[in-house]
Amino acid sequence: MDKIPILRLGAYLLVSIQVDLYDRLALTLEADLVQMVNKTGAKGVLIDISAVSIVDSFMGRIIGNIASMSKILDAETVVVGMQPAVAITLIELGLPLKGVHTALDMEKGMNLLKTMIGDSSGEEDQETDPDYDDTIA
């Protein structure tokens, strides 16, 4: 069966979805990712969906679930590279993905993660602008 690889990079986990997700694959990803967060003690999860062109309400929910689960395990989730059509679809489906952080591309997503984790651990990057919050409130 297909599997989506989860890469570990320091305190972060990287997931790049290169195929169109079908339901079973999404569920496997959800389970694997939570396992990995738990095992590695990752502080941040970066999900790249720039190659995903089709979503449905189930997919939207899975992404939301992953974010909530990671949050419980003390890891922030950032979804990067969403296609315009995907964004419009999710909005039309009434899924604004509350609680999920988003960024335009991998680089910006990584910066956002660093800022957020730096903020929460209180060790580095104290100059962060308090107004700069990409959370979908």
Question: Which span sits near another protein by CB under 8 A: 11-19, 26-34, 36-44, 104-112?
Answer: 104-112
Which residue from 110, 97, 117 is spatially nearest to 16, judged by alpha carbons?
Answer: 110
| Contact letters for another protein, residues 26-65 (x by CB under 8 A) | ----------------------------------------
End-to-end CA distance of the chain: 37
Burial class (CB in 10 A: 0-12, 13-18, 19+), 56: middle
In the complex with another protein, the residue whose CB is nearer, 26 or 36, is 26
Instruction: Decide: 101 and 136 in contact? Cβ < 8 Å.
Output: yes
d(Cα 119, Cα 80) in Å, to the nearest integer? 20
- Give, as ranges, the residues between 59 and 78 that touch another protein (CB under 8 A): none
Regarding 99 and contact with another protein (CB under 8 A), the answer is no
Q: Which residues bind another protein (CB under 8 A)?
A: 79-84, 86-88, 90-92, 96-97, 102-105, 108-109, 129, 131-132, 134, 136-137
